[in-house]
Chain A
Amino acid sequence: MRAGMTGYILKRLLLIIPTLFGVAVLIFLLLRVVPGDVVEARYMGQGGQFQSQEQMQLERKKLGLDQPMWKQFTTWMAGIARLDFGLSMWTGSPITEEIKLRFALSLQLAIMASTVATLLAIPLGILAAIKQDTWVDYAVRVFSIAGLAMPSFWLGILMILCMLIIFKWLPPMVFTPFWVNPWENLAQLFWPALAVGYRYSAVGTRMMRSAMLEVLREDYIRTARAKGLWMKLILSRHAMKNAILPVLTIISLEFAFLLGGLVVTEQVFNLNGLGMLFVEAIARRDYTLTQALVMLVATTFLIVNFAVDIAYAWLDPRIRYR
Chain B
Amino acid sequence: MAVTPQTVEDLAHAGRSRGGWWSVVADFIRRRPLGAIGAAIILVMVFLAATAELIAPYDPLATDYAAMLAAPNKTHWLGTDAYGRDVLSRMVYGSRTALMVGLGASLLGAVFGSMIGVASAYFGGRVDLVVQRVMDVFFAFPVIILALAVVAVLGTGAGNVILAIATPMIPRCARVVRASALSVREMPYVDAARAAGFVHSRIILRHMLPNVMAPILIMATAFLGEAILLEASLSFLGLGVTEPTAAWGLMLRGAAVEFAESAPWMAVFPGLAISLAVFGFNLFGDSLRDALDPRLRTQ
Contacts and interface: CB of A to CB of B under 8 A. Distances in A.
A190 interface: no
B17 interface: no
Interface stretch (A150-158, A225-233, A244-252, A311-319): A150-158
B267 A282 contact: no
Contact of A22 (B137, B150, B277, B286): B137
A145 B286 contact: yes
Given A149-B276, A260-B142, A161 B264 contact: yes
Contacts of B134: 22
User: For this complex, into which size category does the number of interface residues on chain B fall?
Assistant: 35 or more
B252 to A, nearest CB: 6
B64 interface: no
Contact of A294 (B133, B138, B141, B233): B141
A264 interface: yes
A153 B34 contact: no
B265 to A, nearest CB: 11
B283 A263 contact: no
Chain A at the B interface: SS class: helix
B6 to A, nearest CB: 12
A263 B264 contact: no
Nearest to A299: B140
A161 B145 contact: no
Nearest to A213: B299
Interface string B246-285: 0001001000110011001001100100111111001100
A146 B145 contact: no
A34 B282 contact: no
B154 to A, nearest CB: 9
Contacts of A19: 133, 136-137, 140
B282 A161 contact: no
Chain B at the A interface: SS class: helix
Nearest to A144: B282
A261 B274 contact: no
Contact of B148 (A151, A257, A282): A282
Nearest to A283: B152
B145 A278 contact: yes
Interface in B113-166: 133-134, 136-145, 148-150, 152-153
A285 B1 CA distance: 59
A160 interface: yes
Interface stretch (A25-33, A75-83, A89-97): A25-33
A96 B132 CA distance: 32
A268 interface: yes
Interface in A136-168: 138, 141-142, 145-146, 148-151, 153-154, 157-158, 160-161, 164-165
Nearest to A30: B149
A161 B143 CA distance: 28
Nearest to A153: B236
A127 interface: no
Interface in A248-298: 257, 260-261, 263-264, 267-268, 278-279, 282, 294, 297-298
B296 interface: yes
A108 interface: no
A320 interface: no
A31 B145 CA distance: 13
Nearest to A170: B261
A175 to B, nearest CB: 19
Instruction: Report which residue of B232, B257, B276 has the largest number of chain A beta carbons within 10 angstroms of its beta carbon.
Output: B257
A310 to B, nearest CB: 17
A153 B252 contact: yes
28 contacts: A20-B140, A23-B140, A30-B149, A30-B153, A138-B34, A141-B34, A146-B279, A148-B278, A148-B282, A149-B274, A149-B278, A151-B229, A151-B274, A151-B275, A151-B278, A154-B274, A158-B267, A158-B271, A217-B1, A257-B142, A261-B143, A263-B144, A264-B233, A264-B237, A278-B148, A298-B141, A301-B140, A301-B142
Given A33-B153, A150-B271, A268-B257, 7 more contacts: A153-B233, A160-B260, A161-B264, A278-B148, A282-B148, A297-B141, A297-B145
Q: Which 9 pairs, one residue from A and one from B, show the smallest C-beta to C-beta distance?
A: A261-B142, A154-B271, A22-B137, A149-B279, A149-B278, A298-B140, A257-B142, A150-B275, A19-B136
